Structure 1
Amino acid sequence: MDDTIIALATAVGEGSIHVLRLSGPQAQEIIEQAFTPRHPQRWQEKSNFTLHLGYFRAGAKVLDEVLIGRMSAPGSYTGEDVYEINCHGGLYIAERIMRECIGLGARLAEAGEFTKRAFLNGKLDLIQAEAIVDLIAAKTDSSADLALAQMEGLLSQKILLLKDQVMETLAFIEAGIDFPEDDVESLDRDALLQRISKGLELARDLLEGSKTGRILREGMLTVIVGQPNVGKSSLLNALMGEERAIVTDIPGTTRDEIRESVTIGGILLQLVDTAGLRESEDLVEKLGIERSWKAMEKAELILLIIQAGQELKAEELKILSQYDQSVIVLINKMDLLVGKEQGEEVLENYPTQQGVWIPFSVKENLGFKQLEKEIKQRVYQGKAEKTKEPLLSNIRQITALERAVSALANGWDSVKNGLPWDMVSIDIRQALQEISQMTGDSVQESLLDDIFSRFCIGK
């Protein structure tokens, strides 16, 4: 990293200000050549984390009046000398300041290159780096809080504990291999099993929370299904707070999937409204119904809407049978019932041992709070909603941890089955390698390039 990079750190377009970020070994030299401070004495003090008003020039020509932030190595974001140039928000102004910096020896930064330099200079690990992207993309309070916790290193601390445990286990094995004649603990297979078990417990605890973490980060794929005219589109509109889907008394109005995102109780739902399930000779409607069944195969949550007071149809029974644990049944149009079939009493007519059943009325706003409560219960698995426990949420990290758990489990089995210790060490080394991939302690350059290419330029 011998070169100096520059990029626009604010969104392209016109605004009150633009921010240009300059980082690298020549950053100070470039700024000294182009910047004339209003207060030279204060500028020459070279105090870190300070702002300075002045003029940015190209030779004798003033390009703009700017405010420059100085962040000196190694205390900056990248670990290098960093200067942030706050100029007026016309894109042309920002571009000509950038051209001047490039003319003085900088080059245009690649996507994510500032954060990549921060990682390579030890300012953050790979988990923290990926959390920055998640924070930028966050759509709910929960996903933002999750990303912030990861950025602060809370998740990295738990993974470091796991890594230390696996390293100690590997050292324990190698001591047993190197000094087999010594009558020491390293020859005790029971002690080795305990060490591997402790690592497995730590890893599985992290994996257990990863489902919640991934949903908070990406949202829960939620499919709304049911017979025609039971209120699927009305539910979608109610959750969205707008007339997103057409609602009529004509069966088969919805013929294709309608996809929207909505936040309920701080949880992002990726909603899919589907075609009504029934027998149909209409080719377009039949294709829509086929898509409804395919959408259910991928769904993490199925909202099955039925009409209160009516017997379950074959399609509804099939959904309950196939997707029991994923189904919340909304007994809609409760407002149409009269007599004693009100509230919880209506549940007596249904097989409530399958799925979760909620008396519901889109029209009367009945059941929405119970639906929200049930969604939270599924996401947080009965634990406190605002858990302070750091959670895995990134699919790359989750996959690596799953492989580490598999390797540790294989090592445990090998010890239990009396295999030689050098054979056991292969599995434990594999687990250590996977954990190191999570934090970036041991990672291929191609993977780093792939990860940081997902960042925007200027980050």
Structure 2
Amino acid sequence: MDDTIVAMATAKGEAGIHIIRLSGLKAGTIIEDCFKPQNKERWLTRENYTLNLGVFHDEGKVLDQVLVGRMLTPYSYTGEDVFEINCHGGPFVAQRILQACIRHGANLAEPGEFSKRAFLNGKLDLVQAEAVIDLISSRTETSANLALAQLGGGLSDTIIKLREEILEILAFIEASIDFPEDDVENLDRETLESKIDKAFVDTKNLLDGSKTGKILREGLLTVIVGRPNVGKSSLLNSLLHEERAIVTDIPGTTRDIIRESVSVGGILLQLMDTAGICETEDFVERLGIERTWNALKTAELILLVVQANIPLTEDEYHILKTYAAKVIVIVNKIDLMDDDYHIEKLNQKGSWIPFSVIQHKGFQELEVEIRNRVFQGEAVLESDPLLSNVRQISSLEHCYTALSQALLSIQNGLPWDILSIDIREALQYVSEITGHNVQETLLDDIFSRFCIGK
């Protein structure tokens, strides 16, 4: 990291301002060469965390009037000297300043290179670094709050505490192996099993919360299904607050799957509106219905729309029986009913919500039901340490397996050195989460998913 890097920190195109970020050993020299402050006396104080007005020039030519933010090592995002050049938002202006920095010794930054330097300089761990990209890509308030909580270090503290528990277990085991007759704290098998079991339970609790965390981060794959003309597309349009799907009185209007995303109660739903399930001779409609059945297999949530004043079909009963755990029944068109007998008759098990898209009834109940399913009826705070990243979850699952094997080993009376293999494996996987033990190739893969300038 001896080189100095530069990149646009704002999106390309016209805007009010653009920001060019500069970080590294030569960052200060480049700024001194190219920036002429309006208040030279204030600039020479080298006061940290300041914005300084002036002009940016190159080869005797003024490129723009700018504000330069100064953040000196070690009190910066990357841990290096960082300067942020705020220029006018024309793409040509920003490009000229960027090229001037490169001519004076900077290299164009790779995607995520600023955040990678922050990690390598101890400003962030891997959990926090990955929270940065989650925050940038968050599409709901809930997912943004989850990413902010992870960036603040709450999840990292929990993982580090678990890692310390496993380290302590390994230290006791190795002390018993290396110095069996010396004055080392004697850890009997019962006490050791208790310590391993605690780490095992702590790991399980984190994994239990990861399902919720993953949903908050990525959303729920949600399929809207039902017979033709039951109100599926009307439901989609109402959730989206726009006329996304064509709605007519003609059955079979939707022939293919329509995909959209919407936040319901702070939960991102990856919606799929499907062709109405029915018997048909139309070849194209049959293809759409086949795709509907396939979509149900991969769905995480199914909104089965039925009509309140019409009995269920065999296909609707089949969906209820086959996918009961992930079905919410939308009993639509209650505005057409004389009484609620049919709903009472249907309301035997599962989640049945009386609904009227036209009268906008049932939407609040649907929101509550979705949140209850995601949070499993518990009052989960957005600041709670929830795993949400696939890489982190995979590593913790391996740690869980290793601790499970360690418990089995100690219960079977296996020797300490065999037991230490399982604990070492658990330690390796939990260390991968925060970056205490991580390969360079994995780091490259993680940070390559960042945008340039972050």
Q: TM-score range by the shorter chain?
A: over 0.9
What is the deviation of 1:263? 1.1
Q: Give the secondary-structure state (helix, strand or coil) at the position aligned to 2:305.
A: strand
Query: Structure 1 residues 33, 277: CA separation in 2 closer, same or farther (over 3 Å shift)?
Result: same
**For 1:419, which of 395, 409, 414 is the aligned residue?**
414
In the TM superposition, 1:397-436 aligns within 5 A as 397-436=392-431
What is the deviation of 1:387? 4.2
CA contact (8 A) 2:146 2:382 kept: no
Name the residue aligned to 2:344: 348
In structure 2, distance between residues paired with 1:184 and 1:446:
40
Query: Structure 1 residues 184, 108: CA separation in 2 closer, same or farther (over 3 Å shift)?
Result: closer
CA contact (8 A) 2:35 2:57 kept: yes
Query: Structure 1 residues 186, 409: CA separation in 2 closer, same or farther (over 3 Å shift)?
Result: farther
In structure 1, distance between residues paired with 2:179 and 2:315:
67
Name the residue aligned to 1:368: 363
What is the deviation of 1:240? 1.1
Name the residue aligned to 2:21: 21
Q: Give the secondary-structure state (helix, strand or coil) at the position aligned to 1:222.
A: strand
In the TM superposition, 1:247-326 aligns within 5 A as 247-326=247-326
Name the residue aligned to 1:41: 41
**For 2:378, which of 374, 380, 383 is the aligned residue?**
383
Q: Give the secondary-structure state (helix, strand or coil) at the position aligned to 1:162.
A: helix
In structure 2, distance between residues paired with 1:437 and 1:187:
28
Mean Cα deviation higher: 184-193 or 312-321:
184-193
Aligned residues: 454
In structure 2, distance between residues paired with 1:222 and 1:255:
18
Name the residue aligned to 1:156: 156
- Where do 5+ consecutive residues of structure 1 fail to align? none
In structure 1, distance between residues paired with 2:6 and 2:223:
45
CA contact (8 A) 1:185 1:191 kept: no
Question: Pairwise CA RMSD of aligned residues?
Answer: 1.4
CA contact (8 A) 1:376 1:385 kept: no
In structure 2, distance between residues paired with 1:359 and 1:99:
62
CA contact (8 A) 2:146 2:383 kept: no
What is the deviation of 1:351? 6.0
CA contact (8 A) 1:57 1:63 kept: yes
In structure 2, distance between residues paired with 1:266 and 1:404:
31
TM-score, L = length of structure 2: 0.97
CA contact (8 A) 2:28 2:81 kept: yes
Name the residue aligned to 1:446: 441
What is the deviation of 1:212? 1.1
In structure 1, distance between residues paired with 2:318 and 2:179:
62
In the TM superposition, 1:126-205 aligns within 5 A as 126-181=126-181, 186-205=186-205
Q: Which residue identity is paired with 2:355?
A: F
Deviation string for 1:237-292 (max 9, x for gaps)?
A: 11111111111222211111001111111111111001111122222111111111
CA contact (8 A) 2:334 2:355 kept: yes
In structure 1, distance between residues paired with 2:54 and 2:344:
77
In structure 2, distance between residues paired with 1:17 and 1:240:
32
Deviation string for 1:82-139 (max 9, x for gaps)?
A: 1111111111111111111111111111111000000000000011011111111111
What is the deviation of 1:22? 0.5
Q: Which residue identity is paired with 1:458?
A: G
CA contact (8 A) 1:180 1:187 kept: no
What is the deviation of 1:196? 0.8
In structure 2, distance between residues paired with 1:61 and 1:359:
70
Q: Give the secondary-structure state (helix, strand or coil) at the position aligned to 1:276.
A: coil
Name the residue aligned to 1:241: 241
Query: Structure 1 residues 358, 105: CA separation in 2 closer, same or farther (over 3 Å shift)?
Result: same
